[in-house]
Every structure is written in structure tokens, then in C-alpha cells.
Structure 1
Amino acid sequence: MLVPFLIMLREGVEAALIVGIVASYLKQTGRGAWMPAVWVGILLAMALSLFVGAGLQLVSAEFPQKAQEFFEAIVGLIAVLVLTSMVFWMRKAARSIKSELHHSIDAALSHSTGQASALIGLVFFAVAREGLESVFFLLAIFQQSTNNDAPLGALLGILVSIVLGFGIYFGGVRMNLRRFFFWTGLFILLVAAGILAGSLRHFHEAGVWNRMQTIVFDFSNVLPVSSPLGTLLSGMFGYQDTPTLGEVIAYLTFLALSVFMFLRPAGRHTVAAQASH
């Protein structure tokens, strides 16, 4: 429950920042009448995300066992890709996201015709990015989850992010966004490493990957994955009580490289600095 909550909280806050920047700029420049177009873009992006998620879930339910395992492995790899790209994109874009959005809004509204469509498209693509990232992550987590807590955690994360988004926009909530995105970014990389190891396991169960299947250690008697703590660690970080050599190598290699790249200095400007102006 904690993992989907934190991921959806981060995704929701990212989307809320983007929408908040757009709404604030329209208000500041006397173009608040265009806000209905912003809401249309948001609703269309949400509809697309729900449609893609439901479609993938329905299609996968029809697969035979091995095909299902292969599908889950592919979804896991996509989830790792989008989660990692999300972390590094925000780390890089934080320095210029506000000015870029302002420029895009000016460009969208500078034409004599098609202004509404251009603004709807701008908001739609910005929010749809966050929504589709969430879809693949949630699919990967739901496939690994053994209970019904994951959907509840995701819903709570979305609801809290909406409240925070309105609070930030109206000035009632102050957040240190630099720290928020830093610590959630590290957490996401840990989660992504676990999903990557899990994808390798699904490939093996699908009969696609059969190398490096030596058991590195056996904690099934000390901390079984079926125990309360084992279930928690499995849901959060992809813990397995009998991991194979391939899974351990994939986990540690991805984590070492991604954390190293993430901790490299990225400049002084951050989302917090951009959002405060």
C-alpha cells in the first residue's frame, strides 16, 4: 500500500505543479477565461490513462499462463523505464519547466484561430505523460501484489496529491519540493530495481530466460516472503527469500548505476525555486 501511495502522490504532485503553473500564468496575464480548456485537457488525459490501463488489464486476462508471465515481464520493464525516466526528467526539467510552460502557453494562444485546441493539447500531453507513467507502474505493482491494499494506496495517493495541489496553488500549503522530489526519487529507484528483478523472474517462468538461476541465499526459514514483514518488503522493494544470481545482479547493477547518476550534481535550480516565482 505504501509504494503505490508514494508513487501516485509524487505523480499527482508533478501533474498538480504543471496544472498550477498553467493556471497561475493564465490568471496573471488576464487570460483566466481559458481555464475551461485546461480542465478539458486534464479530463481527456485522465480518460486516456484509464482507457489504456483497463485495456491492458483486460487483454492480459485472456493470455495463457506462460504468455501471462511474459506480459507481466514486459510491463515490468516498461514500468522500470518510465519510473526511471520520470525521476531523471523531473530532475533535469525542474530548472526550466516553468519558463517552458509559459512559452508554450503564449505560443498556443498567439494564433487567431485554434487557440482552445492548442491549449487543450498542451495540457493534455503534459498530464497524459504522468497518467500513462502511472498506468504502467500500477500494472506492475498490482501484478506483484497479493492483497487489495495496492489500489487503495494508489487512490489515497491521488486524493492527497489533489489536496496538496490545491493547497499549493492557493498558497495555503508550503512544501520543500526539492527535498520531496529528491527523497521520493531515491525511493522510486529502489522500487524500480525490485520491479526489474521481478521481470527477470517472470521471464524465467515464461521460459524465455533460464540463465543464472543459482540461488544466492535462502532466507525462507528466516524471513519468508509470505510473512508479514516479507510481504511488506516484497511489495516495497521486490524482496525474495530465495533470489537467483541473475535477479541479484540485475537489482544491484541497476541500483548502483541509477543512484550514482541521480546523486550527481544537477545544478542549483530546482522545482521549488521555479514554483516559488
Structure 2
Amino acid sequence: MELQALLITFREVLEALLIIGIITTYLKKTNHGKFTKFVWLGAGLAVIASVGVAMLFQVVFTGFAAMGSEMYLKIGIMLVSSVLLTQMVFWMAKHSRDLKGNMEGKMKHFISTGNIVGMVIHSFLVVLREGVETVFFFAAITGGDIGAAMQGWGAITGVVIGCVVAYFFFKGTMRISLKSFFKVTGAFIILISAGLLVQAISMMQDIGLIGSVIPHLYDLTWLLPEHPIDYAHFLRDTGTAPLLSGDVGIFLKALFGYSSMPSIEEVISYIGYFVAIYFLTAPKRESVKAKEEVKGGVKDLSPQAK
């Protein structure tokens, strides 16, 4: 859970700070530094609002638990979080290249029209979006105990690292390719998202919400049990200890949704998720390749090439 929280908060905090940093840097470069306080005001209000959303979410979850329906809420949270995580990766991949121009264009419009309220609201919504997403993700990885995730070392470390990276990036002392950075972190986010999807399917099968054609497609308990309890049971029943510890299984389950005895539906969903991601990104790769070929053809036909 802690590593998931670290990666999620690091990415969310960095995204928010990058956008806020782009806005404030533009304002200072155009001699409109006096407006930066309004940008930070919107960001600060968004942080407070995000905490409020987390508290409200916790109250709602407690209410579902009192009615004995918390399992259904957990499943819903996992499915929604899986969709949001996937959308987050695709959104940043699409907008990372023109993010700076878009933000500067909006600020230019707010300044020219004297729309201070719009400036505050814009920065508020930018940060609130990341905050609400974080609340959902924390609820998904902790089973509804958002407070535990917020107080853990993973979330705190993720916030600190995100702030430090953003600071050095805007100071010009850190030379990193944002496109490459978001590709790497996006890959881990996609793995977490796939794990949440599979865990949601497993929970639906456990409570009988959906059935299974093959409940246990294979059994890897002898190699890597899913939990220390499974490790102990396997040792008791066979007299032989599994090759790897159940603690490793817990880590992989929490981070990537590992299961030592998955149903066929879990396996198909897991593989299908990555197949869908591939096909969603394949047209973009072909488009980029086509553009490069066109550029190469134009270059070959230029007078210099002749």
C-alpha cells in the first residue's frame, strides 16, 4: 500500500505543481507577478477542498459499512479508480507537449480581461482535480481507510519528492524530459490500474456477484503464495515450504494485483486490459511514424538533397 501511495501522490503532486509552476513562471516573466498570489490562493483553497472531500468520502464509506454494503462500495471504488488512473496517464501523455502553451494562453486571456476570479477558479480546479483523484486512489488501495493512506510514510514521501522535483525543475538545475518521465511513471500507474481491476473482479466473485467458469486456472502457491497464511497452510499440508515468502506475495498483490490462484476471468481481464491499452496507443504510434516518413520524404525532395 505504501509504495502505491508514494507513486500516486508523487505523480499527482508533481502534475499539480508543474501546472501551477508554469502559470506563476509565465506571470513573472511577463511582469505580472502581482497575480501569482491569486494563483496560489486558488491552489490553497483546492487543497482544503480536497481534505474536505476525503472527510466526506470517509463518512459515506462508514455509512455503507454500517449498512453492511461496504464490499459493494469497495468494488465500485476499485473499478472507478482503475478508469481514472488509465485516463490520467492518457491525459498527461496527450497534453504534456502543449501543456505550457495552453496554460500560458489561458493566463494571457485572464490578464487581458482582468478576470482575477477566473484565474483563482482555474488554479483551484487544476489542483482540485488532482486532489479528488488522490482521494479515490487512496480509497481503492486501502479498502476505504483514506486516513491510513494519508498518514502513512508512502503518501508523505510522495508529496515531499514531488515538491523537491518540481522545485529543482523550475530552478533549472534538473534537466529531465517530461515526456520520458511521464512515460516511465505512467507504465507503473498502468500496472497498478490493472491490479485494481483484477482485484475488483476477484471480490465480485468472492461475494457471488459474478460467477466463474474456472475458479482456479492455475496454482502458484508452491512458488509464490499470495499471503503468509497461504505459506503456512501450504507448509502444513505438504510438508514443503514454498520457494518464496508470502510477504513477497502481499507486496505484489498490493502493488500489481498478484494472485497465486486466479480465476480464468481474472487472467483474461488482466491480459485484455493491456491489449486494450496497446490498441488505444497503436494508432498514435503509427501516426507519429507516418509524420516522420513524410518529413523524411520532404527532406529528400528538397533542392539541397538534389
Q: TM-score range by the shorter chain?
A: 0.7 to 0.9
| Cα distance in 2 for residues equivalent to 1:260 and 1:228 | 35
| CA pair 4-267 structure 1, distance change in 2 beyond 3 A | farther
Matched residue SS, 1:110: helix
Contact 1:167–1:173, Cα closer than 8 Å, also in 2: yes
Matched residue SS, 2:89: helix
Aligned to 1:52: 53
Matches within 5 A, 1:180-199: 180-199=181-200
* TM-score of the aligned structures, taking structure 1 as reference length: 0.88
Matches within 5 A, 1:221-260: 221-226=222-227, 227-260=246-279
Aligned to 1:141: 141
Higher alpha-carbon deviation: 43-52 or 224-233: 43-52
C-alpha distance after superposition, 1:131-161 (max 9, x if no partner): 211111111111299xx68832122111110
| Cα distance in 2 for residues equivalent to 1:231 and 1:149 | 17
| Cα distance in 2 for residues equivalent to 1:186 and 1:99 | 26
Contact 1:70–1:206, Cα closer than 8 Å, also in 2: no
Aligned-residue offset at 1:205: 3.5
| CA pair 32-58 structure 1, distance change in 2 beyond 3 A | same
Aligned to 2:120: 120
Aligned-residue offset at 1:23: 0.7
Residue identity in the other structure for 1:129: R
Contact 1:193–1:237, Cα closer than 8 Å, also in 2: yes
| CA pair 168-75 structure 1, distance change in 2 beyond 3 A | same
Contact 1:13–1:161, Cα closer than 8 Å, also in 2: yes
Matches within 5 A, 1:170-209: 170-209=171-210
| Cα distance in 1 for residues equivalent to 2:78 and 2:186 | 18
Contact 1:66–1:207, Cα closer than 8 Å, also in 2: no
Gaps of 5+ in 2: 228-245, 290-306
Matched residue SS, 1:120: helix
How much is the aligned-residue C-alpha RMSD, in angstroms?
Answer: 2.2
- Higher RCO (CA 8 Å, separation ≥ 6 residues): 1
Residue identity in the other structure for 2:102: E
Aligned to 1:20: 21
Aligned-residue offset at 1:211: 3.7
Contact 1:66–1:206, Cα closer than 8 Å, also in 2: no
Matched residue SS, 1:23: helix
| CA pair 135-101 structure 1, distance change in 2 beyond 3 A | same
| Cα distance in 2 for residues equivalent to 1:225 and 1:155 | 27
C-alpha distance after superposition, 1:72-118 (max 9, x if no partner): 11101111111111100111112221111111111222224xx2211
Identity %: 31
| Cα distance in 2 for residues equivalent to 1:3 and 1:207 | 28
Count of matched residue pairs: 264
| CA pair 95-149 structure 1, distance change in 2 beyond 3 A | closer
Matched residue SS, 2:72: helix
Aligned-residue offset at 1:267: 4.7
| Cα distance in 2 for residues equivalent to 1:267 and 1:185 | 19
Aligned to 2:163: 162
| Cα distance in 2 for residues equivalent to 1:154 and 1:26 | 31
Structure of greater Rg: 2
Gaps of 5+ in 1: 269-277
Higher alpha-carbon deviation: 52-61 or 31-40: 52-61
* TM-score of the aligned structures, taking structure 2 as reference length: 0.80
Contact 1:186–1:259, Cα closer than 8 Å, also in 2: no
Residue identity in the other structure for 1:80: S
Aligned to 1:218: 219
